[in-house]
Amino acid sequence: MFITKVTIFPKSMYLFLFVISILNGIIISYYINYIIGLTTFWLQEFWYIYFFQVSFFTLFGATVVPLWFYPKVLLQISNVLPFKYAIFEPVNIYLEKISFHQSIVVIVIQVVWLIILISLSSFIWEKAKKKVIIQGG
């Protein structure tokens, strides 16, 4: 009803860009989950991680409702966070929703986010190493 055009198989150029961006997306989501997981060093439990992970990705990563439905404020917040670069933007490239130049920009932003996330995670890891509590069994 709402979908006017569905791309079953994109042009080879977009497919190539999609593969690169989805690989970046997988690494980005890995590092985000890893950083959320590292908080265990301070809190000693981990059952809450799932809730944070799912809610961050559904709200800011637009895995359930696409971003163009969002009200303006929420859209602006999502645009400055890394979550939408994990799944939403690669899917946009696959569906040819954005132009070739915009796709290149997306991939560049993904790489910038990757650098930020990797350095942040190694910074937290350095802090965490000093914080280890050995539970007695």
Partner 1 sequence: MAYYPYFPFLFYMGKGQKESDYSGRLIILLYLRFIKLRFQSIIEYRGAFVAGVIAQIFYYAVFFSLIWIMISHFKTMNGWKPMEVMFLYALNLLSYSISACFVFLPFVNLPQLIQSGEFDAVCIKPMNPFLFLVTSNFNVAYLAHFSLSLAVMIFCIIQLKIAINWLTFFLLIIFILGAGLIQASAMLITSIPAFWIIQNTGLQSVFFFELKAFIQYPLSLYNRIIQIFFTFIIPYAFINFYPAQYFLKKNDFLMFHPSFQFLTPFVGLLLFFLAYRFWLLGLKNYQSTGS
Chain contacts with partner 1 (rule: CB under 8 A): 39, 42-49, 51-52, 54-55, 58-59, 64-65, 69-71, 74
| CB nearer partner 1, residue 75 or residue 111 | 75
Residue 118: partners with Cβ closer than 8 Å, 6 or more residues away: 31
Work out how close the CB of 86 gets to partner 1 at its nearest, in angstroms, rounded to a whole number: 16
Half-sphere exposure of 67 (CA within 13 A, CB side): 23
| 44 DSSP assignment | S
Work out how close the CB of 84 gets to partner 1 at its nearest, in angstroms, rounded to a whole number: 14
| CB nearer partner 1, residue 36 or residue 114 | 36
Work out how close the CB of 94 gets to partner 1 at its nearest, in angstroms, rounded to a whole number: 22
Alpha-carbon distance 62 to 109, whole Å? 17
Alpha-carbon distance 28 to 36, whole Å? 12
| CB nearer partner 1, residue 49 or residue 91 | 49
Work out how close the CB of 50 gets to partner 1 at its nearest, in angstroms, rounded to a whole number: 8
| CB nearer partner 1, residue 54 or residue 115 | 54
Alpha-carbon distance 127 to 125, whole Å? 5
Could you tell me how many helices (H) and strands (E) the chain has, helices first? 6, 0
